[in-house]
Structure 1
Amino acid sequence: MFKDQVNKVLQTAIRKRASDIYFLPREDHYSIKMNVVGTVETISCIPSSYGLQIINYLKFKADMALSEHRRPQIGAFLLKDSQTKKVFGRFSSLGDFLGRESLVVRLIYQEKDANEKFFFPSQLKKLENLSQKKGLILFSGPVGSGKTSTMYHLVRSLTDVQVMCIEDPVEIYEPNFLQIQVNEKANMSYAELVKASLRHRPDVFIIGEIRDAETAQIVVTAALSGHLVLSTVHAQSTLGVVRRLLDFGVSKADLEQTLQLIMYQRLIPTTVGNVKALFEQLSVEKLPWEKLENGGMTGMSVGWRESLEKCVQKNWISEETYKKYSEG
């Protein structure tokens, strides 16, 4: 009975294509919520004791320590929806100052019909063509904007290649790739793992995030040495990605040699109730180097707003959605 109720919560979220499920402690109960197309809605409120049972059950399934309730933990396991399609669940738990534990489940869907998930399939086609070459393709966008799913889709389309994925944590299970998880306590940082992985001579790297100068330098080195490297950088626009790399100490000369394309990605709600990805794409040939090196021009491009305007004209998105996402 208990397992059936937990499964019902998971299946409800999966059926609605939720990106996250939240189990949040309140004063005298637990609130269960889910994020659907950027809107958080409440599934139910349950007694605190029952909420803790659900959290412990899910932590057990995700191979997390049941005795730890305050320190942050991560875990994962594969779920299935009613059509037995695989959905990857990534788990994160954290206790507050009163020792009350919260749990968030990120749901990552194994998409096959990629062309139906993009407003402009030509943008995806450009990405697929560039992924046949060597060099660096970088992604930016908020958490949950589909960057990792896009990277995995691109690399799955390649044939006869050895793929190395380094992430913190691994988000999507792909048995055909060699997937490694960052563990700072064991001296397995992004930079150290990329260095070690180069000895395996992979054809393609997926690097979860460039978050410091050391990782930026080793990622560029991997691209210079003849690998295809896909990674993400936290920035609010394509130009912001370049600004961050320059701040990390990557030289303009190295970027000119390695950088193929920068992608800013958002998942945007449509008028028919689903979400699709929209890209801002910027190639190295179009970078305004002088202004970037002087610290300027890091906002959204005119092209981003023009793409949104086309979506409104075609009645794919509403005017309200246009206003909400016009600044990225």
Structure 2
Amino acid sequence: MQTKLKAIMDAAILHKASDIYIWPVSQDYQVSLRVLNERLELKRLSFTEGQMLINFLKFQANMSLSEKRRPQLGSWHYLYQNQTFYCRLSSVGDFLGKESLVIRVLYHEEGLLRGYFFPNQLTKIEQEARKRGLILFAGPMGSGKTTTMYHVAKQFGEQYVLCIEDPIEMYEPNFLQLQVNKKAQMGYPELLKLALRHRPDIFIIGEIRDGKTAQVALNAALSGHLVLSTVHAQSVYGVWERLRSLGVDAELLRQGLQMINYQRLLPTKDGQQKVLFDQLKMEDIKAHGKTKVMTEKWGDNLAKCYQNGWISREIWQKYQAG
């Protein structure tokens, strides 16, 4: 079983897959990878082999082997070419009792600047971060938001960084990392209020999901902290609309919000992946039509990526609307 698992993990890391799926399909198990939001089937296992693989992984992650139906979460690390990759595991059984398991692979941020089409966009975020305030990131799952936030926080040297996430996306020994636990009444608002007493210099908040979290995050930003967080939105302008829909006062946003970044991870012609940003500084946010989605700069930069031969025509057309 270790040999099968090694082959799967090595293939996932080689493809830079964000997730590994071990799912029951008919009378066997399908092992597939999520690469750039596309599913790639890796292999098929017999039903018995699939169950054995899931049990082996659950054992490694200190999950209950006897529990087959209820959702379980676990963590595990895998050593690949002298580099440790941290993994999050999630299992659940369907109505027939067939168990499935998903592994989220957490990558390191080495060579981060090579992962951006225009490194000056990342520099722009770092410059705005030095002014403190709230800097927000949006984009689909797996677009690199957490990696970007951690990189920006690391640029401040020895300053005290406190992270609140659900769950922890990336292990960083120099940061104080707190994980949301709703059963213990430790949600984002509660942990944020507690964290303020620790007086950190920088907050990383995994996600602003409700008005309470947004309010505490903005209060922290207004009190002189740098706050980095994510918001579910489908465009850079959508971030502003999302916060307003959560009941956040527009004037409070104008005072505390420093910058909005929407990012997508695009496949390049050489088989790699790089991030492209759409960005707005607070002073750039003016009245705009409800139908406006992306800035003109997004279209210009996307066209440059195509003209420079970095991306295909298909990708250029696909990401016109973000």
Interval containing the TM-score (normalised by the shorter chain)? over 0.9
**1:303 and 2:297 are equivalent in the alignment:** yes
The alignment partner of 1:110 has SS state of: coil
The alignment partner of 1:223 has SS state of: helix
The alignment partner of 2:11 has SS state of: helix
Displacement of 1:304 in angstroms is: 1.4
- Determine the structure 1 residue equivalent to 2:145: 147
Displacement of 1:223 in angstroms is: 0.8
The alignment partner of 2:219 has SS state of: helix
Query: Cα distance 1:211–1:298, how it changes in 2: closer, same or farther (>3 A)?
Result: farther
Q: Map 1:182-193; keep pairs closer than 5 Å.
A: 182-193=180-191
Q: Within 1, Cα distance between the matches of 2:78 and 2:150?
A: 19
Displacement of 1:145 in angstroms is: 0.7
Deviates more, 1:235-244 or 1:87-96: 87-96
Q: Within 1, Cα distance between the matches of 2:318 and 2:79?
A: 33
Q: Within 1, Cα distance between the matches of 2:276 and 2:238?
A: 17
Q: Within 2, Cα distance between the matches of 1:30 and 1:225?
A: 52
Q: Within 1, Cα distance between the matches of 2:77 and 2:209?
A: 28
- Determine the structure 1 residue equivalent to 2:7: 8
Spell out, residue by residue over 1:255-287, the C-alpha distance to the aligned partner (whole angstroms, 9 max, x if none).
111111101011000010010001001111111
- Residue 278 of structure 2 aligns to which amino acid in structure 1? E
Displacement of 1:133 in angstroms is: 2.8
Q: Map 1:95-174; keep pairs closer than 5 Å.
A: 95-174=93-172
Q: Map 1:210-225; keep pairs closer than 5 Å.
A: 210-225=208-223
Spell out, residue by residue over 1:15-51, the C-alpha distance to the aligned partner (whole angstroms, 9 max, x if none).
2211111101111100000122333211110111111
Spell out, residue by residue over 1:97-150, the C-alpha distance to the aligned partner (whole angstroms, 9 max, x if none).
112111111112112211100000000111122222310000000011110111
**Native 8 Å contact 1:15 1:81 kept in 2:** no
The alignment partner of 1:50 has SS state of: helix
Q: Within 2, Cα distance between the matches of 1:91 and 1:157?
A: 30
- Determine the structure 2 residue equivalent to 1:198: 196
- Determine the structure 2 residue equivalent to 1:240: 238
- Determine the structure 2 residue equivalent to 1:91: 89
- Determine the structure 1 residue equivalent to 2:16: 17
Displacement of 1:298 in angstroms is: 5.1
The alignment partner of 1:133 has SS state of: coil
Count of residues paired in the alignment: 322
> Where in structure 2 are there 5+ consecutive unaligned residues?
none
Displacement of 1:13 in angstroms is: 1.0
**Native 8 Å contact 1:135 1:258 kept in 2:** yes
The alignment partner of 1:326 has SS state of: coil
Displacement of 1:206 in angstroms is: 0.5
Q: Within 2, Cα distance between the matches of 1:183 and 1:165?
A: 14
**1:58 and 2:57 are equivalent in the alignment:** yes
- Determine the structure 1 residue equivalent to 2:313: 319
**Native 8 Å contact 1:161 1:203 kept in 2:** yes
The alignment partner of 1:246 has SS state of: helix
Q: Percent identity?
A: 49
> Where in structure 1 are there 5+ consecutive unaligned residues?
none
The alignment partner of 1:201 has SS state of: coil
Displacement of 1:310 in angstroms is: 0.6
Deviates more, 1:118-127 or 1:242-251: 242-251
- Determine the structure 2 residue equivalent to 1:181: 179
**Native 8 Å contact 1:73 1:92 kept in 2:** yes
Q: Map 1:263-274; keep pairs closer than 5 Å.
A: 263-274=261-272
The alignment partner of 2:221 has SS state of: helix
Displacement of 1:297 in angstroms is: 4.3
- Determine the structure 1 residue equivalent to 2:69: 70
Q: Within 1, Cα distance between the matches of 2:128 and 2:284?
A: 16
